[in-house]
């Protein structure tokens, strides 16, 4: 449901004034898209719901700082992504580093099976389930780099890891996703 700029401004201003109807309207307006973001960073729907709730609390707390320049949805999305990453950090004391993570693997060195080149459509739900099977470290790097379009340098800064670890985790995440999806397609 797309809202016009004037309508969005009315809703945001109402939320700043603590109008519960405007808060509910904003929540409903963004729920689907932001829940999708949360699902990509979590292992299950309950965790995603928790991340989304915390995210909206932050959104409502910070709405007075939104200046109506740029995409409002993008502004909210950034809060949701940061909240999801905070949740990963909180859940796993240091999910982004292990001795395995520091082994750099060049993406070009990963062999790709001919079967992976099949022109197969994978449903979004299956892709989401596959993404949720990744470790938190791989999941976070994959989401930030592939979906949120951050550079490896930015991913490294956000997650407190080296660029090499970011690249390695992305390569491993892609390979693992490929394995999961291929097994799904083959029916293993």
- Residue-wise pLDDT for 79-115, tens only, equals 999 999 998 888 765 555 443 433 333 434 334 444 3
- Residue-wise pLDDT for 10-60, tens only, equals 999 999 999 999 999 999 999 999 999 999 998 889 999 999 999 999 999
pTM of the model: 0.68
3-state secondary structure of 119: coil
How far is it, in rounded angstroms, from Cα 93 to Cα 129? 24
In the CATH hierarchy, which fold is given to the domain comprising 107-186? Arc Repressor Mutant, subunit A (1.10.10)
Pick the CATH number of 5-91 from 3.60.140.10, 1.10.10.60, 1.20.140.10, 1.10.1740.10: 1.10.1740.10
Quick one: 129 exposed, middle or buried, by C-beta within 10 A (0-12, 13-18, 19+)? middle
pLDDT for 74 equals 93
Q: So where are the chain's domains? A: 5-91, 107-186
Quick one: 139 exposed, middle or buried, by C-beta within 10 A (0-12, 13-18, 19+)? buried
Span 153-178, average pLDDT = 92
3-state secondary structure of 102: coil
pLDDT at 119 over 80: no
């Amino acid at each position: 449901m797309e809202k016009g700029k004037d309508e969005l401004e009315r809703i945001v201003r109402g939320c700043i004034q603590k109008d519960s109807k405007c808060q509910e309207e904003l929540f409903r307006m963004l729920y689907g898209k932001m829940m999708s973001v949360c699902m990509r960073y979590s292992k299950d729907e309950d965790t995603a719901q928790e991340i989304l709730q915390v995210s909206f609390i932050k959104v409502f707390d910070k709405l007075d700082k939104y200046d109506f320049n740029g995409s409002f949805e993008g502004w909210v999305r950034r809060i949701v992504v940061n909240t999801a990453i905070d949740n990963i950090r909180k859940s796993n004391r240091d999910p982004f580093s292990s001795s395995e993570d520091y082994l750099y693997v060049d993406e070009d060195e990963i062999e790709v099976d001919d079967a992976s080149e099949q022109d197969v459509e994978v449903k979004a739900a299956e892709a989401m389930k596959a993404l949720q099977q990744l470790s938190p470290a791989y999941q976070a790097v994959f989401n930030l780099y592939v979906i949120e379009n951050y550079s490896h340098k930015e991913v490294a800064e956000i997650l407190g890891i080296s660029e090499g670890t970011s690249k390695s985790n992305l390569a491993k995440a892609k390979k693992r996703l490929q394995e999961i999806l291929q097994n799904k397609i083959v029916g293993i």
